[in-house]
Amino acid sequence: MVKHVRAEEPTSIAKIIRERRTIRSFTNEPVTKELIIDLLNDAVWAPTHGLRQPWRFLFVSTDEKERFIEYLLQAFPNDQQDKMRTYFHAQASAFLIVIMSEDPRPKQWEEDFAASAAMIQNFQLLAWERKLGVVWKTNNHNWDPKVRQLLGVKPGEKIVGFLHLGFFDSEQIPEPKPRTPAEEKLTLFENLKP
Ligand SMILES: Cc1cc2nc3c(=O)[nH]c(=O)nc-3n(C[C@H](O)[C@H](O)[C@H](O)COP(=O)(O)O)c2cc1C
């Protein structure tokens, strides 16, 4: 019988899950569509109820970044454009926008949102393995009708993640933010007091 004992060394999956950090500063190495398609073709093996695969993607490569930022700035008031230009330039080398189709049925909506999040985490872990850093951004502009329109997000769709991407320097990985041990959030049935 297989015993489910903890290995002396973390498995490679546990290692990557623990080591992955949100990365906010990137090198100049360009991010190409070939790499992103490769990563996404693994990430989409996430669980998805009813095999609905509710996601689609908009990718902006490093080569297109400058033109994309100027395009997107149209959505922002004049007095915010300089700030947003600096922000987008400084905080991404490329962008991947994950768009989910919104099922009007609440159960299916939740399942689809959960599947999209699982797929994004797959992507983040796969990217980490290739030294491609990710910040999963949920800034207010993800809900802005002007941003949605410029990005071709249709009624009945939502932006789940505006991912800022770029290669990272292994010497400059942020310190981990320790997690609460699961035991502190775990109730054993023997102690359950409803
Ligand atoms: C759904 C979601 C939304 C997030 N939105 C943002 C965001 O808008 N801006 C940001 O800087 N980080 C964002 N993050 C990244 C978290 O801040 C980050 O995961 C957290 O600080 C823990 O750091 P770590 O990923 O390095 O462990 C988001 C993460 C998730 C899962």
Segment 148-184, tens digit of pLDDT = 999 999 999 999 999 999 999 999 999 999 999 999 9
The gap from C-alpha 97 to its chain's centroid, in whole angstroms, comes to: 8
Segment 53-66, tens digit of pLDDT = 999 999 999 999 99
Answer CATH for 22-169 from 3.40.50.720, 3.40.50.2000, 3.40.109.10, 3.40.47.10: 3.40.109.10
For ligand 1, the distance from its centroid to the CA atom of residue 136, given in whole angstroms, is 6
Q: Is the shortest distance between the CB of 41 and ligand 1 below 6 Å?
A: no
86 assigned ligand-binding residue: no
- In the block, which residue shows the tokens 């915010």? 80
The share of the chain scoring above pLDDT 90, in percent, equals 93
Question: Which pLDDT value is given to residue 62?
Answer: 97
Segment 10-53, tens digit of pLDDT = 679 999 999 999 999 999 999 999 999 999 999 999 999 999 99
Task: Name the amino acid, one letter, at 67.
Answer: R
Q: Is the shortest distance between the CB of 18 and ligand 1 below 6 Å?
A: no
CA dihedral sign of residues 64, 67, 71, 72? positive
H or E segment and range at residue 162 = strand 157-167
65 assigned ligand-binding residue: no
What residue ranges do the domains of the chain occupy?
22-169
24 assigned ligand-binding residue: no
Local confidence band at 1 (pLDDT 50, 70, 90 cut-offs): very low
Structure ipTM over 0.85, yes or no: yes
For ligand 1, the distance from its centroid to the CA atom of residue 24, given in whole angstroms, is 10
Closest residue CA from atom 31 of ligand 1: 136
Q: What is the dihedral of CA 54, 158, 147, 79, to 10 degrees?
A: -140
